[in-house]
Amino acid sequence: MATEIDKWKREFLEYMEIERGASLKTVANYDRYLTRFFAFGKISSPKGITEDAVREFRLALNRAPGVKVRGQAQSTLKKNTQNYHLIGLRRFLKYLMKRGVTSLSPDRIELAKVGARHLDLMSDAELTRLLKAPDGSGLKDLRDRALLELFFSTGLRLSELCSLNRDLDMSKDEFSIRGKGEKVRVVFLSQMSKSAIKAYLTKRVDMDEPLFMQVSRNKTGGGRLTPRSIERIVKQYATKAGISRKVTPHILRHSFATDLLSNGADIRSVQMMLGHANIATTQVYTHVTDKQLKEVHKKFHSKR
């Protein structure tokens, strides 16, 4: 039997999807986090969300076993994972406040402190080897070279790259992409990526809409590449390039950002190109600018 809290949760999820433009995956995650909290606290109405209920839930999250990695469970849930639950709850409470519903103030929920994020980046030499790894002239090699060059040129998210269609205007150095929260931003094409895409499209003989498609026996027709397929492609060429560390599409996005910063781009511009809603997300890359500051200090300070 549906309770009052179930009604408000359903309306909140619909609000996030329709009015806030959240992705279906984000909506599903919020649904899971809230359902877990309501079940744990036996909460049936907004008034049942109290500081005590939240504190007990946080203790349970902190003591819960983590997911299995290579067959072995982590000791506890990661702090980031715990925070995702709290962020979902805080969003829900903000929605209730907006609707004039009495409940716990969202300001009463403080996120757990997490350690500084470590980026496992490729070196310049590794990146160069990766981009050159698809070295054949067949359709698959041309597709994969275009895919890797486009990743590094634009800093696109994996889902954004998967969504691209072949009608990109190659006469321009830029195109618009609809990212998280249905926000549109402009990304830019390097000459290398434009050349790689043109070579790939010239080789294709089909008229299908997707830019990156499955290839079988040097022919397309297997449908649009999935995120999992692209992850496998990146991993395959990382191995071929002799890169021992884990390489993912997201690491290429990191490489895009750090390349810009290390060559003098300001962090606000990088934020816009990555499509980050909050500059705090972009500031994970400031280790690059920190290194530059060290060089400036070394070069100009204390010349006595």
151: in domain: yes
Chain segment 184-215, per-residue pLDDT in tens: 999 999 999 999 999 999 999 999 999 999 99
State which of 108, 134, 162 marks the end of a domain: 108
Q: Are residues 180 and 267 in the same domain?
A: yes
Is 276 found in the same domain as 137?
yes
Q: Domain containing 33: what range?
A: 4-108
Domain count, the chain: 2
Same domain, 97 and 184: no
253 is catalytic: yes
With residue 220 as reference, give the H or E element that holds it.
Answer: strand 219-224
List the catalytic residue out of 33, 95, 237, 285: 285
pLDDT at 245 over 60: yes
Q: What is the pLDDT of residue 66?
A: 64
* Active-site annotation holder among 140, 157, 203, 254: 157
Residue type, 267: I
Question: Is residue 54 a part of any domain in this protein?
Answer: yes
For 79-113, write each residue's pLDDT tens digit: 888 999 999 999 999 999 999 999 999 999 988 87
Classify residue 303: in a domain, yes or no.
no
Average pLDDT over residues 274-282: 86
Top pLDDT among 289 and 157 is at 157
Q: At 89, phi and psi to the nearest 5? A: -65, -40
Q: Is the pLDDT of residue 15 over 50?
A: yes
Looking at the structure, do residues 17 and 73 belong to the same domain, yes or no? yes
Measured between alpha carbons, how far is 205 from 219 in angstroms, rounded to an integer? 8
Whether 204 and 292 map to the same domain: the answer is: yes
- Out of 90, 203, 253, 254, the active site residue is 253
Contact 51, 86 (CB under 8 A): no
% of the chain at pLDDT higher than 90: 60
Mean pLDDT of the chain: 88
> Does 115 have pLDDT greater than 70?
no
276 in active site: yes
Average pLDDT over residues 217-221: 79
Confidence (pLDDT) at 14: 96
pLDDT band at 136, cuts 50/70/90? very high
**180 counts as catalytic:** yes
* DSSP secondary structure of 170-200: TTSSEEEEE-GGG-EEEEE--HHHHHHHHHH
Looking at residues 5-34, what average pLDDT do you find? Answer: 92
What's the CA gap between 182 and 184, in Å, rounded?
A: 6
Tell me which of 56 and 266 has the higher pLDDT.
56
Catalytic site residue 85? no
Q: What ranges make up the beta strands (E) of 64-147? A: 68-69, 72-73
Q: Residue 304 pLDDT more than 90?
A: no
* CA distance readout (Å), 4 to 9, 13, 16, 44, 303: 9, 15, 19, 6, 70
Condensed to tens digits (0 to 9), the pLDDT of residues 60-82 reads 988 887 655 455 555 678 888 89
- Look up the CATH number of the domain holding residue 49: 1.10.150.130
63 belongs to the catalytic site: no
| Half-sphere exposure (Cβ direction) of 213: Cα atoms closer than 13 Å | 23
36, 185, 250, 287: which one is catalytic?
250
The predicted model scores a pTM of 0.71
**Catalytic site residue from 129, 180, 185, 224:** 180
Among 79, 108, 137, the domain-final residue is 108
For residue 304, indicate whether it is catalytic. no
